[in-house]
Structure formats: structure tokens, C-alpha cells
Amino acid sequence: MTQHHPAERIVVLTGAGISRESGLETFRDADGLWSRHNIADVCTPEGFRRDPMLVDRFYNGRRAELASVQPNAAHLALAELERAAHDGRWNGELLIVTQNIDDLHERAGSRNVLHMHGELRRVRCTSCGATPEWLGDCLPDTPCPACHRPTLRPDVVWFGEVPLHMDRIETALAGCDRFVTIGTSGTVYPAAGFVAQVRDHAETVDINLDPPQVPTLFDRTLIGPATRMVPQWVIELLGA
């Protein structure tokens, strides 16, 4: 029985820049989240132990904001590429690895998505491990719906914590033919180290408003807003 090898396996790594034009802030841009919030206070386990109310309010605010935004043309173009793989218009496989905790990829229709830094619309119980979907506010005394103990935290990966799905991500990186980064500054590891990891066996492409910090890591850079550059790249791929 002849093995059907897909023509192309693509891993796309997305960051906050892909959701910027939907109205969600990035972290490091001038008016970004880190210009108003202290990383050590709101994005570390130590910060949560010190002041859980401050951290819960930070994520409650972002969760409320998420309800007011929609996927943009960049999210929709990636969902279209995945659909083209399913209905045979494109002979390939697409995996989206996102650092984003928003659900705009899924709302755009993407299914093959790994949230390596967690999800805003989930909380995690530190007593029983339950990770229920959560759309509203969560406070330090909010009881876990499974074990009823007041030990819920945002289901996100904070600095110093191990990212999620690393096994599946490492396997996909090892087997990809093309690696594409979209809207990420390449400053947070291990995500920032993926491009160097795949350079020996995959074509590397960066899509961003600005040139990458280390241009030599990329075979190709597409400079411009994600809502323009990502649909262009997908059309080119489907046209090829």
C-alpha cells in the first residue's frame, strides 16, 4: 500500500501581532500591555501568590475585551488554508502553534491549533486540576465547579512555567518543510528558539510589521500588516 506523503507540512507560529488589527493589544509595542502592567506582578506564579486579585483582574479585563473583538483577515486566511488541505485544493498539512491566549484562530474556523501559552477562556483548579471553559470574571474566592474549592487560576502559562503541548510541537517542528512566524517579536522562549531549530530542514518565513531581530534566521520576510500579508501569502501558496 503506497504511503500518501503530503506535499508540504507547514508549522505557523503566531504572536500578539496577528490579533492587533482585531483590536487586541500586543505586549511590547509602545502602547502594549507591558507598558501599563508589570510582568512580575501579573504574569508569574510568584505574582499570583503575592496578589491573586490583581492578577485575576488583569485576566478578567482581557477576557471581557475578547468578547468585543472578531477574527481578522489574517486569522480567516489561515483557516481557509486548513480548509483547502481538507478538501484537496492544497496538498499539504497546516499546524498553528500560537503564543496567543485569545480564541480568534478557532473563531475564524481553524481547528489544528495548539495554544502553547494557554487559553484566556479557560481557568484551572490548582486542587483538582479541572480546566473548565470560563467566559466571565474569576476571583480568588470563586469556587471550582468540580471540587468547589476556591483554588482557580487563569489557565495560562506564566514566566518560569513549562509551556503546553511541547511534545507535539517538537514533533511537528522536526517534520516540517516550511516554518512561518506571524506577528511575533521573537523575544520569549522556547517559542523564540523554534526558527533556529528548524532552519536546517525547513524554509523559514517571517511576516511582521517590522524586520526580524535576526534577519539571517529567515529565508524570506514579508513586511506589512498581517491582514494584508497573510492573505497574500495564502493565495500565493494555493496558487502555486
Q: Which of 82, 61, 74 is nearest to 16 (CA)?
A: 74
Q: Check the annotation: does 60 bind a ligand.
A: no
CB-CB contact of 44 with 158 (8 Å):
yes
What is the nearest approach in angstroms of ligand BV8 to the Cβ of residue 125?
18
125 a known binding residue?
Answer: yes
Q: Does 184 bind ligand BV8 (CB under 6 A)?
A: yes
Q: Which of 189, 200, 215, 216 binds ligand BV8 (CB under 6 A)?
A: 189
Q: Does 210 bind ligand BV8 (CB under 6 A)?
A: yes
- Asked if 32 is part of the footprint of ligand BV8 (rule: CB under 6 A), the reply reads yes
Q: Give SS3 for 134.
A: coil
Query: Is 100 among the annotated ligand-binding positions?
Result: yes
Separation between Cα atoms, residue 155 and residue 122, nearest integer Å: 5
User: Binding residues for ligand BV8, how many (CB under 6 A)?
Assistant: 36
Q: Is 102 part of any known ligand binding site?
A: yes
Q: How far is the C-alpha of 93 from the C-alpha of 82, rounded, in Å? A: 7
Residue 203 binds ligand BV8, judged by CB under 6 A: no
DSSP state of 133: B
Cα 108 from Cα 228, distance rounded (Å): 16
The catalytic residue positions are 117
Annotated binding-site members: 59, 62, 99-102, 125, 128, 144, 147, 183-185, 208-210, 226
